[in-house]
Amino acid sequence: MNKTTRKSPAAQKEGGFSAPSFLTVALPKAQKYIVPCFFIVLWALLAFYESALLKRTESFSLFLFDGTYFDTMMSVPAGMLSYIGCFLNQFFYYPVLGATVYVALLFVVYALVRKVFEIPSSCSLLALVPVVALVASNTQLGYWLFYLKMPGYYYMALVATIFSLLGMWAYRSAGNVLRMALLVVWVAAGYPLMGVYALVSALLMALLGIILACRDKKRMTLPLVAMAVALLLVCVVPRLYYYCYALVPLERIYVAGVPAMQWKQGAVDGVVYETESVWQCIHLYWVPFCLLLLSMLGGAASLLVRGRFSRKSITVSVSLLFALSLLFSYCFWFSNKNFRIENKQMVAMWNEDWESVAGYAKESDEPTRQIILNKNIALINMGKVGSEMFAYPDGGVLPISPLAVHMTHTDGSSVYYNYGKFNYSYRWCVENSVEYGWRPEYLKNAARSMLLAGEYRLAARYVKILKSTMFHGGWARELEKYIDDPGLIAGEESFAIPLQFACYEDVLGVDEGVEAHLTSTLDAQNVQNQNNAKMILSMRDAFVDGDIKALMAAYENKKDVTLEFIESSMLVTLIKKDSKRFWNLLGLYLEKHLEGVDMSAGRVTKYLPIHYQEALLLFMFLDKGKSVNIGDEFLSTIVSRTPGGAESRFGNFQRAVAVNRDALRKKYPDIPDARMNAQLAALLKKEFGNTYYYYYFFVKKIKTY
């Protein structure tokens, strides 16, 4: 006879929560909702929050349906992983599509982990740990993105994990004899395809066999022999393949497939950091790979301890591990604001969306010089550089990375192209391709640089390669029409600004830094003097030879600097705070600025752009009439002297500096000058932070790279 079960008094005091508590009932049931939510949130973060990063990732991975390309990939161990990775990377061209493919493959890993390690539904969150490790191995990269020498890196570990899990599944299902054969084939055939991942997965298979034998209380002889065979294969097979690969050094044979050479301490020795950051530790980048391996080992070990713990303790442990995994994922997501802004700017530059390029610069609290250069290029294209260049945050914080980042390796070729230095742009495309392999971004910059440099056959070579890609063919065919008919170049709006810089010779030399090189060569007055000297020399030779036609041709073909080139030179003088160079350029700029204006027709005003007005007033004040004397009447035609104008605001700035300095001196009598300037900068930034005066006095120690 059945008896009615009653609650104990203790259970009644707890409000009805007895042995099947919230942890052991609600959380296991919630896991079927937590897992899909995890993948949906991850997909949304990648597809939208990191869309620019995905597009940059695609731009650094070239894939061609070509036999030579395949042979090149397979010339090193783990070449198949790179080949598959490059193919899948292409889909990041459309971030939503790329994120979908990537997250779908992560879900395959999750499902295989559950299948191989027999993880029940009540512990399904455990199967997300290797997924988190794989995601972290990519989201942690940051500026490593530009320096990885492994095509298809973003997918390599993911694809290798899927193959490894499939191999372990097959190993579990096979008999002892087939297991031994599988190990031999897996290492012998898998090493050239998967590199170190084939070696590690073979050891995991052998370990899994030992664990299953222990669990099922079977004889250990064959599993131990399998482990010994696996160890022997892991030691011997890579050494045998070493003689087949001409490009692989001996020290790389046991780490083929992971970027070990780039993560050695020697790569960061001597790098000086301005501020401390966890991302400066080079060993940090191995942690996700260690977690991936540990999660696999943990999954295998769990087969031994299954059923030895209470349901409640298992649920608590699973929940804790999942929470720690989420924390790990958050900590290993390189979300540096400047890095993200640089990526968004570059994507916008390719789309010629100059408003967005400049707008992104406002998101930074203290920008890198790459952000500043991109913003200035956008303002030049919009014709607003003289009126808005200091309306954005300024400075020069260095990129956060364990290695020294150089702009020539990040976006230097694009910067050079936009400043009309086509030979320099092409040079860095080629040099970077030698070091890191050809990438779509290099191919595009090389093609358009050589097109505008008049090297049409060379441009056609890179266009041909791009036409063979899955998503860049349209861009290549669009450029091809200008190669076939160069006469169309002059009518293409996107080429207009770079061509305006073709008024100076683009002769290759030493450029230790992109910005440093530009600031030393963008000098419109010097270029104009050189052009005039060449014209005079040509006219003199023609006059001596009595060649009237040559004499007239020399005069007619004289090169004049363009307004865009003059403005870029003015921009450089303001950045460098070079008053002498500013005065040399001002006359040249005024010729263009006042062209067509009849200054004798009564009271005529044509004010300079606001930042040039500010610089003129500031440098006049600092000069105090020693070397520069601009007539008061002429000054009124180019500088706003009305209430609220440039002159009035300059006066307000001077008074604000004096008042605040006196107040700080009274409050802190012994305040050092450096701290005084920092305090003044903070007090005056809101009202005057968008002026050249503020930049001149308070934005200091800019470090370019």
Q: How many domains does the chain have?
A: 2
Statement to judge: residues 36 and 111 lie in one domain: yes
Q: Kindly state the tokens that stand for 679.
A: 């305090």
Q: Which residue has the higher pLDDT, 526 or 535?
A: 526
Task: Using CA atoms of 253, 164, 66, 240 in order, give the dihedral in degrees to the nearest 10.
Answer: 30
Statement to judge: residues 409 and 283 lie in one domain: no
* Final residue belonging to a domain, choices 274, 304, 331: 331
Dist CA 313 CA 109 (whole Å) = 26
Statement to judge: residues 211 and 236 lie in one domain: yes
Asked, for residue 523, whether it belongs to a domain, the answer is: no
Three-state DSSP class for 506? coil
Closest CA to 468 of 31, 70, 182: 70
Q: Kindly state the tokens that stand for 674.
A: 């450096």
Dist CA 673 CA 681 (whole Å) = 12
Tell me how far apart the terminal alpha carbons of the chain are, to the nearest angstrom: 86
Which residue shows structure tokens 């705070």? 577
Asked, for residue 628, whether it belongs to a domain, the answer is: no
Statement to judge: residues 472 and 513 lie in one domain: yes
Instruction: Say how many C-beta atoms besides its own lie within 10 A of residue 615's C-beta.
Output: 27
- pLDDT per position as a tens digit, 575-604: 999 999 999 899 889 988 887 776 666 567
| Domain ranges, residue 237 | 27-331
Q: Which residue has the higher pLDDT, 318 or 683?
A: 683
Q: 44 and 419 in contact (C-beta within 8 Å)?
A: no
Dist CA 288 CA 300 (whole Å) = 19
Statement to judge: residues 218 and 280 lie in one domain: yes
Statement to judge: residues 383 and 264 lie in one domain: no
Q: 329 and 42 in contact (C-beta within 8 Å)?
A: no
Among 236-240, 339-343, 559-563, whose mean pLDDT is lowest?
559-563
Statement to judge: residues 415 and 493 lie in one domain: yes
Task: Using CA atoms of 313, 317, 319, 320 in order, give the dihedral in degrees to the nearest 10.
Answer: 130
Statement to judge: residues 222 and 289 lie in one domain: yes
Q: Does pLDDT of 680 surpass 80? A: yes
Which residue shows structure tokens 């040099």? 431
pLDDT category of residue 7 using cuts at 50, 70 and 90: very low
Torsion 193-194-199-201 (CA) sign: negative
pLDDT at 700: 86
Mean pLDDT of the 410-425 span: 94
pLDDT category of residue 692 using cuts at 50, 70 and 90: very high
Mean pLDDT of the 117-135 span: 92
Answer yes or no: pTM beyond 0.85.
yes
Asked, for residue 580, whether it belongs to a domain, the answer is: no
Statement to judge: residues 117 and 85 lie in one domain: yes
Among 169-178, 392-401, 624-633, 681-690, whose mean pLDDT is lowest?
624-633
Dist CA 192 CA 198 (whole Å) = 9
Asked, for residue 19, whether it belongs to a domain, the answer is: no
pLDDT at 23: 52
Dist CA 359 CA 339 (whole Å) = 15
Asked, for residue 645, whether it belongs to a domain, the answer is: no
* Final residue belonging to a domain, choices 276, 299, 331: 331
**Rg, Å, the chain Cα set:** 33
Asked, for residue 616, whether it belongs to a domain, the answer is: no
Dist CA 610 CA 385 (whole Å) = 10
Cβ neighbours for 665, distance < 8 A, ≥ 6 positions apart:
671, 676
pLDDT category of residue 627 using cuts at 50, 70 and 90: confident
Mapping DSSP onto H, E and C, the string for 176-193 reads HHHHHHHHHHHHHHHHHH
Q: Does pLDDT of 610 surpass 90? A: yes
Among 65-69, 101-105, 206-210, 626-630, whose mean pLDDT is lowest?
626-630
pLDDT at 399: 93
Asked, for residue 33, whether it belongs to a domain, the answer is: yes
Output the DSSP codes for 383-406: T-HHHHTTSS----PPP--SS---
Q: Which residue has the higher pLDDT, 526 or 569?
A: 569
Mean pLDDT of the 92-109 span: 98
Statement to judge: residues 193 and 321 lie in one domain: yes
Dist CA 325 CA 136 (whole Å) = 10
Element (H, E) at 241: helix 221-242
- pLDDT per position as a tens digit, 388-406: 999 999 988 999 999 889 9
Q: Where are the beta strands (DSSP E) in 103-258?
A: none
Most distant CA pair in the chain: distance in Å?
131
Asked, for residue 602, whether it belongs to a domain, the answer is: no
- pLDDT per position as a tens digit, 350-373: 999 999 999 999 999 999 999 999
Note the Cα 46 to chain centre separation in Å.
Answer: 15
* Final residue belonging to a domain, choices 484, 517, 550: 517
Q: Kindly state the tokens that stand for 284.
A: 């940090």
Q: Which residue has the higher pLDDT, 23 or 133?
A: 133
pLDDT category of residue 5 using cuts at 50, 70 and 90: very low
Q: Does pLDDT of 267 surpass 90? A: no
Q: Kindly state the tokens that stand for 34.
A: 């937590």
Statement to judge: residues 379 and 436 lie in one domain: yes
Statement to judge: residues 152 and 266 lie in one domain: yes
The helices-and-strands tally (H runs, E runs) of the chain is 34, 0
Most confident of 86-100, 316-330, 516-530: 86-100
